[in-house]
Amino acid sequence: MRVAVRPSVGPPLLLFHGWNGSSHNFGAWLPVLEPHFSVLAPDLPGCAGVATLSVTHTARAYADWALRAMDARGLDGVVAGGLCSGTAIALALAGIAPGRVRGLLLHTPFLRPGLIRPAIRAQLALLSSPLGVLFAPLRRSTTLSMFHRRLFAEAADVDAEHLAHDQADLLRADPAAARDLARDLFTVDRTAVLRAWTKPLAVVLADGDAFIDAPGTAAAVSLAAPQAMIARFPGGHGWTPAYREHQNEALAGLAARLTAALV
């Protein structure tokens, strides 16, 4: 496992990055998480130039891979966290190995298909269809990628370095693996995992997120897992300076509450 490790005195926090991303996704999180956790942020198979899995790249397959990685590092248990599609992996890990997951930290959780915004759901459906093979050549167009980010991720207000890194991650990701996970996000309802979850759960949501229905997701999480600690903040899906400020404030508060609730 190629992983960015930030050791600390706190419990291990295993983070799963978003679709076609990398451990770079968590750079802004580290200053607020490190006082509470020993953070492990792997680059997932099929992303950031890492070799693909030998099976279909579903959230469950990634969770199985994470268990093997935990075994290799001698980790009996972790707090599992994720960003966007990475939350599906964290939930899958909690579902198949609840005894090895002490708590959950979910940022922009993909809980069930009906809570994904219609425009994003349509894109996932297209990626999952035979036409999805066109994703491989089209992703190389910086113009198209930037247009998509302007529509859904406030690219006009995101710094150039971050945008360039996102584009580099996109080009290094395996397109077939990306389509696999897109199909999984589009079809799997993970609510049952939350209903069965009785341990600490922290959720971070931007109210205007362009990918998921944040108010609807907050309500669904509260219904399925009444113990959930939910922090909502103003913003969309783009990592603008204002977004990062609000996000870090929310994460800092939740990290302290989450570690206090761990048993």
pLDDT, position 151: 42
- C-alpha pair distances (Å), 246 with each of 1, 195, 214, 257, 260: 31, 29, 15, 17, 22
- What are the strands of the beta sheet with 78-83, ordered from one edge? 3-6, 38-42, 12-16, 78-83, 101-107, 201-206, 229-233
pLDDT > 50? residue 231? yes
Q: What is the pTM of this model?
A: 0.90
Are 246 and 214 in contact, with CB atoms under 8 Å apart?
Answer: no
Q: Tell me: the pLDDT tens digits for 40-76?
A: 999 999 998 899 999 999 999 999 999 999 999 999 9
Question: Quick one: what percent of the chain has pLDDT higher than 70?
Answer: 81
pLDDT in tens, 112-155: 999 999 988 888 888 888 877 766 665 665 655 554 444 445 54
Domains of the chain, start order: 3-261 (3.40.50.1820)
d(CA 38, CA 54): 29
Q: What is the pLDDT of residues 180-227, one digit of tens each?
A: 999 999 999 999 999 999 999 999 999 988 889 999 999 999 999 999
Contacts of 217 (CB under 8 A, 6+ apart): 109, 111, 115, 203, 205
